């Protein structure tokens, strides 16, 4: 069974990007965490690991039972469904890490652009009750992010995300933002204190 991270109770969700953006008409400096929203339900973040079977002659070679498993990677995947969210922060999640500057327009020169090292997102989950159970994912890729019922009182943000081990040179190697080899930790650097 895969490991998982459970963050209980109501918590705040913060997002940071490695590019400058605008929230509520105000320019935001790159790497500044902004509040995406809050969730009252617990968040389930399954941890998945990849392995490679190692065949052995004594078990029938490649067709037989492996003699060992090699660890290759670990990732985390999570889905968000928020009824209270900041639409500007949600919009930043639809820009492919800042590559797409005009909504709905995909310029030829951005196709093939690398995302994981310099254009991933940082997600920080801070419970309002048990702050010690905070989780910070420094290298998150957006699988899908969209706003349902935009402009109505039933507006909702939905997104699917995958967190990965941050690669060397992550976010330009600048401390404390760069976290090479980290999948998640409890670092809340830059996250506003609880009111």
Residue 141 inside a domain? The answer is yes
Residue 86 inside a domain? The answer is yes
Tally of structural domains, the chain = 1
Residues pairing with 157 in the sheet: 82, 147
Residue 195 inside a domain? The answer is no
Q: What is the mean pLDDT of the chain?
A: 86
Residue 90 inside a domain? The answer is yes
Give CA–CA dist 192/33, Å, rounded: 8
pLDDT score, position 136:
93
Give CA–CA dist 181/170, Å, rounded: 9
Positions of the chain with pLDDT lower than 70, given as ranges = 1-9, 22-24, 195
Structural contact between residues 49 and 2, judged by C-beta atoms closer than 8 angstroms: yes
Residue 149 inside a domain? The answer is yes
Residue 172 inside a domain? The answer is yes
Residue 192 inside a domain? The answer is no
pLDDT score, position 95:
86
pLDDT, tens digit (0-9, with 9 covering 90-100), for 12-28:
999 998 887 766 677 77
Give CA–CA dist 35/29, Å, rounded: 14
Domain coverage including residue 165:
1-13+32-42+75-106+126-179
Residue 158 inside a domain? The answer is yes
Number of C-beta neighbours around residue 29 at 10 A:
8
pLDDT score, position 157:
92
């Amino acid at each position: 069974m895969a490991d998982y991270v459970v963050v209980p109770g109501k918590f705040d969700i913060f997002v940071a990007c490695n590019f400058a953006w605008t929230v509520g008409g105000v320019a935001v400096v790159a790497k500044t965490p902004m509040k995406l929203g809050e969730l009252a339900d617990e968040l389930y973040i399954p941890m998945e690991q990849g392995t490679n079977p190692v065949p052995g002659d004594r078990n029938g070679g490649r067709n037989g039972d492996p003699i060992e498993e090699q660890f290759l990677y670990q990732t985390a995947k999570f889905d968000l469904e928020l009824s209270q969210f900041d639409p500007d922060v949600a919009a930043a999640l639809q820009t492919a890490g800042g590559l797409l500057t005009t909504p709905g327009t995909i310029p030829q020169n951005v196709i093939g652009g690398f995302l994981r090292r310099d254009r991933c997102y940082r997600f920080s989950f801070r419970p309002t009750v048990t702050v010690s159970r905070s989780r910070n994912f420094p290298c998150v890729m957006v699988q899908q992010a969209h706003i349902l019922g935009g402009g109505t009182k039933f507006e909702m943000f939905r997104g699917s995300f995958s967190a990965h081990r941050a690669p060397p040179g992550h976010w330009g190697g600048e401390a404390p933002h760069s976290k090479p080899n980290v999948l998640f930790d409890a670092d809340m650097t830059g996250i506003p204190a609880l009111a």
